[in-house]
């Protein structure tokens, strides 16, 4: 049995069918996340409402890779763990056990975010059905002390195909979606808060680079050019790319040439 007074996060382990306490969490802080101010503020507001016992929404953070979706959820834990926030991470393959996980924590005094990273489903995949039930569709109401936050590259979580639109009709000025489209939308609709993350513009990307190289005393313009070249090689301007650039060149002799 986990002592949630001293444990702030746990990960579900399917083979042993238990929650493993996390001893070392990612130390990322909210103020370190740049270029996503609007998304950050909305998720913070939602989480603060949840912690205050007010109505709050399950959240889907979707969009481009490396844009801070996962880091934002981790930063929430560091910002609010002293206010009773706890996080349980569950892999997509383990969503089958989600009802049991929720049953184990519904009577706890703490507030839990059940978190699934990189969530998406393929055609014919039925693992999303337990998630739909826990979010909203069961005869039993979801517990007041549990929310579900997920990150994904897909807006609707399920794959979208052109053929799904063939039966969609326009009747009296209203769109009537096909059954296939309705099934896809019905899952994402259960997330009352849906936040979109887009690739960074160059100034935002360089701002993040500067935050990593705050103590750099060389030529900043040359540093920026190297950072942009690195981003082009990785085909992405993102917070992840900025961190990888820092990992590659920080305390390296090559940085003296910048």
The pLDDT tens digits of the residues spanning 160-209 come to 544 444 444 444 444 334 444 455 566 777 889 999 999 889 999 999 99
The answer to whether residue 57 is domain-embedded is: yes
Burial of 121 (0-12, 13-18, 19+ CB in 10 A): buried
Mean pLDDT lowest among 104-118, 163-177, 207-221: 163-177
The answer to whether residue 94 is domain-embedded is: yes
Residues 160 and 124 occupy one common structural domain: yes
Q: What is the pTM of this model?
A: 0.81
The answer to whether residue 2 is domain-embedded is: no
Residues 188 and 228 occupy one common structural domain: no
Domain of residue 35, CATH code: 3.40.50.300
In this structure, what token pair is assigned to residue 43? Answer: 């998720």
Residues 214 and 177 occupy one common structural domain: no
Range of the domain at 223: 202-257
**Mean per-residue pLDDT for 240-258?**
82
Contacts of 62 (CB under 8 A, 6+ apart): 69, 151, 152, 153, 154, 155, 194, 195, 196, 197
As for how many domains the chain has, the answer is: 2
| Distance from C-alpha of 19 to C-alpha of 17, rounded to nearest angstrom | 7
Residues 64 and 164 occupy one common structural domain: yes
**Which of 179, 197, 215 lies at the terminal end of a domain, its last residue?**
197
Residues 157 and 236 occupy one common structural domain: no
The answer to whether residue 123 is domain-embedded is: yes
Residues 83 and 101 occupy one common structural domain: yes
In this structure, what token pair is assigned to residue 68? Answer: 């801070």
Contact 85, 76 (CB under 8 A): yes
């Amino acid at each position: 049995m986990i002592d949630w007074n001293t444990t702030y996060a746990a990960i579900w382990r399917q083979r042993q069918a238990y929650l493993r306490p996390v001893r070392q969490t990612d130390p990322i802080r909210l103020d370190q996340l740049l270029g996503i101010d609007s998304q950050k503020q909305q998720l913070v507001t939602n989480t603060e409402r949840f912690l205050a016992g007010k109505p709050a929404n399950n959240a889907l953070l979707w969009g481009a890779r490396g844009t801070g979706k996962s880091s934002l959820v981790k930063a929430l834990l560091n910002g609010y763990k002293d206010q009773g926030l706890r996080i349980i991470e569950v892999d997509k393959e383990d969503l089958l056990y989600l009802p049991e996980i929720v049953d184990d924590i519904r009577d706890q005094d703490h507030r839990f975010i059940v978190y699934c990273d990189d969530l998406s489903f393929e055609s014919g995949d039925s693992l999303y059905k337990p998630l739909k039930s826990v979010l909203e569709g069961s005869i039993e109401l979801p517990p007041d002390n549990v929310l579900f936050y997920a990150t994904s590259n897909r807006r609707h979580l399920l794959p979208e195909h052109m053929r799904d639109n063939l039966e969609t009709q326009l009747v009296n000025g209203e769109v009537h979606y096909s059954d296939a489209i309705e099934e896809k939308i019905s899952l994402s609709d259960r997330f009352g808060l849906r936040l979109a993350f887009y690739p960074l513009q160059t100034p935002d990307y360089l701002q993040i680079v500067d935050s990593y190289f705050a103590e750099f005393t060389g030529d900043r313009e040359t540093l920026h050019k190297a950072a942009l070249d690195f981003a082009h090689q990785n085909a992405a301007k993102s917070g992840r790319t900025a961190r990888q650039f820092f990992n590659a060149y920080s305390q390296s002799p090559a940085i003296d040439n910048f």
